[in-house]
């Protein structure tokens, strides 16, 4: 009935035409309009809770990072191919590098968006969990729930820090790509390629660091998903 695509929960097409399917379809419009409380409330009516949404969004953030890794690798390879050729058509070189920059920006924005979605639902989940502790009359159950909350939150913080490090490591890469593409745009000459050669080692180091950070984030995300499930 429900499946995950790009970090969000959706329903199978065959389910759309039922009354319940129509209700579920409406649920995915709510977050776009900023109606978080209404969205959560309707999702719970069909058995999907904040915990499930968090898992789906962590998976989406993880997958977006894996996709971004491939894009940044592609940008580095294209950059290298441009600076290594002696008789490069500079206009084509600019178009190729600009294309890679734009694709990298899309990938970077997607990662940032997915991480923000994770942060939103995690904050709501832990706030709700904390508020509900006072509803217990059984002290033993309350303490067990509090311990579980603390442990889950601690695991989340480890994953979240890894996500933020990965996100932050994209900024210097994007800035380096942007600077070099912009420079080449206005300097279609041999001296421009020479300048790009000097920048290549810096770009490679920054992309290597980015991929390392993303691998760490992906690893902690997988562990968090396994623990939460």
Q: pLDDT tens for residues 8-25?
A: 654 554 544 454 454 444
- CA-only gyration radius of the chain, Å: 22
CA distance 114 to 60: 6
SS (H, E, C) the chain: CEEEECCEEEECHHHCCCHHHHHHHHHCCCHHHCCHHHHHHHHHHCCCCHHHHHHHHHHHHHHHHHHHHHHHHHHHHHHHHHHHCCCCCHHHHHHHHHHHHHHHHHHHHHHHHHHHHHHHHHHHHHHHHHHHHHHCCCHHHHHHHHHHHHHHHHHHHHHHHHHHHHHHCHHHHHHHHHHHHHHHHHCCCHHHHHHHHHHHHHHHHHHHHHHHHHHHHHHHHHHHHHHHC
Give ∠ CA 165-162-123 in degrees, rounded to 5. Answer: 105
- Which residue carries 């593409």 as its tokens? 181
Give pLDDT tens digits for 27-80: 444 454 456 778 888 888 888 889 999 999 999 999 999 999 999 999 999 999
Q: What is the pTM of this model?
A: 0.81
pLDDT at res. 110: 97
CA distance 110 to 106: 6
Give pLDDT tens digits for 79-131: 998 887 666 678 888 899 999 999 999 999 999 999 999 999 999 999 999 99
pLDDT > 90? residue 203:
yes
CA distance 32 to 39: 10
CA distance 14 to 145: 38
């Amino acid at each position: 009935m429900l499946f995950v695509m790009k970090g969000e929960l959706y329903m199978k097409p065959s389910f759309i035409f039922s009354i319940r399917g129509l209700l579920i379809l409406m649920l995915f419009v709510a977050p776009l309009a900023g109606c978080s409380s209404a969205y959560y409330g309707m999702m719970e009516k069909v058995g999907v809770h904040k915990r499930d949404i968090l898992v789906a969004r962590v998976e989406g953030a993880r997958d977006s990072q894996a996709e971004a890794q491939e894009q940044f690798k592609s940008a580095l390879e294209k950059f290298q191919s441009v600076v290594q050729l002696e008789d490069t058509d500079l206009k084509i070189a600019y178009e190729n590098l600009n294309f890679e920059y734009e694709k990298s920006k899309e990938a970077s924005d997607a990662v940032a968006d997915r991480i923000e979605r994770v942060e939103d639902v995690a904050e709501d989940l832990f706030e709700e969990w904390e508020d509900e502790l006072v509803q217990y009359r059984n002290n033993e159950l309350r303490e067990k729930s509090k311990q579980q909350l603390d442990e889950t939150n601690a695991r989340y913080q480890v994953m979240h820090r890894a996500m933020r490090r990965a996100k932050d490591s994209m900024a210097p890469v994007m800035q380096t790509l942007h600077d070099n593409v912009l420079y080449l745009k206005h300097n279609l000459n041999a001296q421009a390629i020479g300048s790009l050669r000097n920048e290549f080692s810096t770009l490679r180091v920054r992309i290597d660091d980015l991929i390392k950070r993303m691998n760490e984030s992906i690893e902690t995300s997988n562990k968090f998903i396994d623990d939460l499930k």
